[in-house]
């Protein structure tokens, strides 16, 4: 709940002119915000009701109710701002539209601190059938993660720095989960074949990403770059996308192997990692290479 307190004390973020489509509107209408109590997670429903997923004290619920009452406008603004960011700077909603639509557009957004970036939030998104809340909360489907600044609209270098860091973090978490949930024999076989391959590809990804961060201004667009530089930026991001696709194919193969071997306790972490790779690959293709290619071709929507 500390994250909610911090957000609610910040200035309202002015959203540029933005007209959501039907799909985006429905997600906004059904958007649940998730925060942390001491022993459970708590959801704020679209109607600003408090829905706990486990044990909660009366004091925690009372404090949250006070925040919701006093800061209602800011929380509404936060939800609108989140939809704007997801629509403009990510592919999460479109990449997962099938599952979101199946659950009548109910999306849960969890806000998490980003180390060394106090003005940013990592937003983890899930979807679930309304009838499964709150008792079957563990059955929610992971959609993906995004990184949202609470102080500025635009994303430096298309948020490449956060993506680079997140992939490294998620790979380390995958290793740690495998140590806990995989039998030693399975881990000794699967880690060298798959996880070590991910690590090698991530070295290439980080090197390419670092070169982009050093070589280009934070605004990679026709406003700051000439035609030749836009062509170069587009090529570099396309190469990053190719690395992501290679990793995604290996992650999909790992996921299938683990399913075949009935490694259910560990396979969900491979699935989450694969989904992150899919989402980032789609983001590069749709929102980065797509826009840069339009700029290079002189196409204006």
Residue 217 has pLDDT above 60, yes or no: yes
Confidence of residue 301 (pLDDT cuts 50, 70, 90): low
Model confidence pLDDT, tens digit, residues 280-290: 999 999 999 99
The alpha carbon of 141 is separated from its chain's Cα centroid by a whole number of angstroms, namely 13
Q: Tokens 């670092």 sit at which residue?
A: 210
Best CA proximity match to 121, nearest among 144, 147, 83: 147
pTM assigned to the model? 0.93
Q: What is the DSSP string of 100-120?
A: HHHTTT-EEEEEEE-TT-TTE
What's the pLDDT score for residue 150?
87
Q: Is 262 left (phi over 0), alpha (psi -120 to 50) or beta?
A: left
What's the pLDDT score for residue 13?
78
Count of H-run helices and E-run strands, the chain: 12, 6
**CA-based angle 174:179:181, to the nearest 5?**
90
Within 8 A by CB and 6+ apart from 139, the residues are: 128, 132
Residue 99 has pLDDT above 60, yes or no: yes
What sign has the CA pseudo-torsion 72, 63, 139, 199?
positive
């Amino acid at each position: 709940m500390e994250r909610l307190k911090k957000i609610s004390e910040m200035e309202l973020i002015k959203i540029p002119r933005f007209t959501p489509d039907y799909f985006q509107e429905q997600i906004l209408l059904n958007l649940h915000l998730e925060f942390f109590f001491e022993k459970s997670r708590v959801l704020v429903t679209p109607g600003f009701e408090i829905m706990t997923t486990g044990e909660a004290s009366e004091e925690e619920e009372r404090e949250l109710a006070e925040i919701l009452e006093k800061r209602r406008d800011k929380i509404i603004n936060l939800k609108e701002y989140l939809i704007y960011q997801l629509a403009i700077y990510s592919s999460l909603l479109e990449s997962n539209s099938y599952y979101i639509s199946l659950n009548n557009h109910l999306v849960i957004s969890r806000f998490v601190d980003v180390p060394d970036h106090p003005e940013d939030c990592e937003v983890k998104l899930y979807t679930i059938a309304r009838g499964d809340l709150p008792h079957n909360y563990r059955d929610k489907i992971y959609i993906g993660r995004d990184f949202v600044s609470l102080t500025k609209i635009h994303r430096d270098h298309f948020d490449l720095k956060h993506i680079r860091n997140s992939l490294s973090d998620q790979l380390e978490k995958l290793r740690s989960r495998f140590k806990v949930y995989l039998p030693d024999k399975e881990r000794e076989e699967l880690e060298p074949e798959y996880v070590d391959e991910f690590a090698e590809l991530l070295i290439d990804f980080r090197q390419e990403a670092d070169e982009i961060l050093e070589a280009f201004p934070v605004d990679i667009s026709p406003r700051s770059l000439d035609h030749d530089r836009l062509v170069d930026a587009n090529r570099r991001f396309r190469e990053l996308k190719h690395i992501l696709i290679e990793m995604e194919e290996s992650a999909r193969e790992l996921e299938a192997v683990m399913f075949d071997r009935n490694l259910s306790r560990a396979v969900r972490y491979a699935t989450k990692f694969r989904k992150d790779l899919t989402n980032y690959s789609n983001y590069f293709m749709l929102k980065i290479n797509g826009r840069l290619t339009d700029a290079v071709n002189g196409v204006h929507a």
